[in-house]
């Protein structure tokens, strides 16, 4: 731990569709603080951020859309077709991303921090890391994932894969290589073993963070427990039962979802009576699945469940909490107001990253409720 006394920083990289984000999420489940450097890059040149004017000065006002934001698609088309332009953009944003990462690492309460970045090895973020982890996947797995998740045809998928530097160059410098064959169970086993055998060995001061934290928080007659992959069958049963069959989930479905989200389980009298599915991306907490049994005290149950989601989100330094309520919960505006939330639309949120998160996540029939968790923001100009 040469860089950060009391902390161990893992740099996580790998080529497209090798499972970097899934591995980062798994490490978060195990107790690490994780950050997505590529998302911080977008924040670096958002309106009001330190890199905003520098990008405009470098490339021109034609990039600015009617909302005053830099159009990412226009900027992307420019820099991906011009290597020199890409270098100019990176010269602006990379120092800012490193500065933001340093702030987040310093403020993290968790002893293990994970930085995910596709260009980790090419930039200054590598200097912040104590260990380099690389995700690797067979090309056919990459192709299948790009076709299924991004709607590409086989030719397009292969072109995207071959546009990137050879995966072998990253594997060659890795302290740990995680092979992702497409099996979530196998991937979870590798990450869990690496957490025990490498992270703890790398730092004598590091203990199992999940053991040090209370896994159950009580509030009256309710308790909240952080869901783990071992609870996948129970979570699937809850989703199916409490949605009255509208969503039929299996343990395999839930295991796959653990690559994207976490779960809070509401317990009463020794049995699960509710749950919330949520995730933190780009310093924004998004709660998309809330299920409660009909006979519970909705106000007390919701207060207990959401409070624990907020506590966990705050530990991950979230700036805002977005809740996407459906059915009867979407009509409980007075109840949400008591919890500090207000009904909003994505367009009324004041920060682009919050707007993007809301737009990406909001589904038909859902209602957005918003709460700002903290006032300070990284990459806000001084």
Residue 222: its pLDDT value, please?
A: 94
Q: What is the mean pLDDT of residues 351-371?
A: 95
Residues of the chain with pLDDT > 70: what percent? 93
β partners of residue 34: 114
pLDDT(218) > 70? no
What six digits make up the tokens of 212?
């040090």
User: How far does Cα 316 stand from its chain's mean position?
Assistant: 10
Query: Is residue 159 within 8 Å of residue 38, measured between CB atoms?
Result: no
- Directed axis angle between helix 72-80 and helix 52-59, to 10°? 50
Could you tell me the end-to-end alpha-carbon distance of the chain, in angstroms, rounded to an integer? 30
Residue 211: its pLDDT value, please?
A: 41
Q: Where in the chain is the domain with CATH 3.40.50.300?
A: 8-209
Residue 202: its pLDDT value, please?
A: 52
Q: Where in the chain is the domain with CATH 3.40.630.30?
A: 214-372
| Phi (first) and psi of residue 113, to 5 degrees | -125, 140
What's the burial of 331, exposed, middle or buried (CB within 10 Å: 0-12/13-18/19+)?
exposed
For the domain spanning 8-209, the CATH number is: 3.40.50.300
d(CA 240, CA 235): 9
d(CA 370, CA 339): 10
Cα-based angle 316, 317, 323 (whole degrees, multiple of 5): 80
In CATH terms, the fold of domain 214-372 is Aminopeptidase (3.40.630)
Highest-confidence segment of 59-63, 110-114, 220-224: 59-63
pLDDT in tens, 279-307: 999 999 999 999 999 999 999 999 999 99
Cα-based angle 366, 369, 374 (whole degrees, multiple of 5): 145
What six digits make up the tokens of 207?
């203990």
β partners of residue 266: 224, 274
What's the burial of 134, exposed, middle or buried (CB within 10 Å: 0-12/13-18/19+)?
buried
Query: Is residue 279 within 8 Å of residue 260, measured between CB atoms?
Result: yes
pLDDT in tens, 121-140: 988 899 999 999 999 999 99
pLDDT(273) > 60? yes
Q: If pLDDT is split at 50, 70 and 90, which confidence band does 200 have?
A: low
pLDDT(210) > 60? no
d(CA 165, CA 161): 9
Residues of the chain with pLDDT > 90: what percent? 81
Tokens 């299948």 identify what position? 144
pLDDT in tens, 140-159: 999 999 999 999 999 999 99
Q: If pLDDT is split at 50, 70 and 90, which confidence band does 216 have?
A: very low
pLDDT(334) > 90? yes
Residue 123: its pLDDT value, please?
A: 86
Query: Is residue 92 within 8 Å of residue 54, measured between CB atoms?
Result: yes
Q: What is the mean pLDDT of residues 195-207?
A: 62
């Amino acid at each position: 731990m040469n860089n950060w006394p009391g902390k161990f920083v893992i740099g996580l990289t790998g080529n497209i569709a090798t499972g970097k984000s899934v591995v980062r999420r798994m490490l978060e489940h195990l107790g690490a603080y994780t950050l997505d450097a590529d998302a911080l890059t977008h924040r670096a040149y958002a309106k009001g951020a330190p890199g905003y004017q520098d990008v405009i000065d470098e490339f021109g006002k034609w990039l600015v859309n009617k909302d005053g934001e830099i159009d990412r698609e226009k900027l992307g088309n420019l820099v991906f077709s011009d290597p020199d332009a890409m270098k100019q953009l990176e010269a602006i944003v990379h120092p800012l991303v490193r500065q933001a990462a340093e702030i987040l690492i310093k403020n993290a309460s968790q002893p293990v921090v994970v930085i995910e970045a596709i260009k980790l090895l090419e930039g200054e973020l590598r200097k912040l890391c104590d260990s380099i982890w690389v995700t690797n996947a067979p090309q056919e797995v990459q192709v299948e994932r790009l076709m299924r998740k991004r709607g590409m045809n086989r030719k397009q998928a292969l072109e995207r894969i071959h546009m990137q530097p050879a995966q072998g160059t990253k594997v060659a410098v890795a302290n740990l290589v995680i092979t992702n064959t497409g099996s979530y169970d196998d991937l979870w086993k590798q990450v869990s073993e690496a957490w025990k055998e490498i992270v703890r060995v790398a730092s004598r001061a590091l203990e199992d963070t999940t053991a040090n934290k209370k896994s159950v928080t009580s509030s009256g007659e309710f308790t909240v427990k952080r869901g783990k992959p071992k609870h996948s069958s129970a979570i699937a049963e809850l989703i199916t039962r409490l949605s009255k069959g509208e969503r039929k989930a299996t343990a395999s479905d839930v295991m796959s979802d653990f690559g994207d989200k976490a779960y809070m389980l509401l317990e009463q009298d020794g049995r699960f009576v509710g749950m919330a599915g949520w995730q933190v991306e780009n310093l924004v907490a998004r709660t998309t699945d809330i299920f409660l049994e009909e006979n519970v005290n909705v106000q007390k149950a919701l207060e207990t469940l959401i409070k624990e989601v907020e506590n966990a989100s705050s530990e991950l330094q979230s700036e805002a909490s977005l809740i996407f309520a459906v059915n009867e919960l979407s009509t409980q505006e007075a109840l949400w107001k008591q919890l500090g939330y207000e009904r909003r639309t994505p367009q009324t949120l004041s920060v682009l990253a919050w707007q993007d998160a809301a737009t990406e996540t909001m589904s038909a029939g859902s209602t957005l409720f918003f709460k700002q968790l903290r006032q300070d923001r990284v990459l806000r100009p001084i």
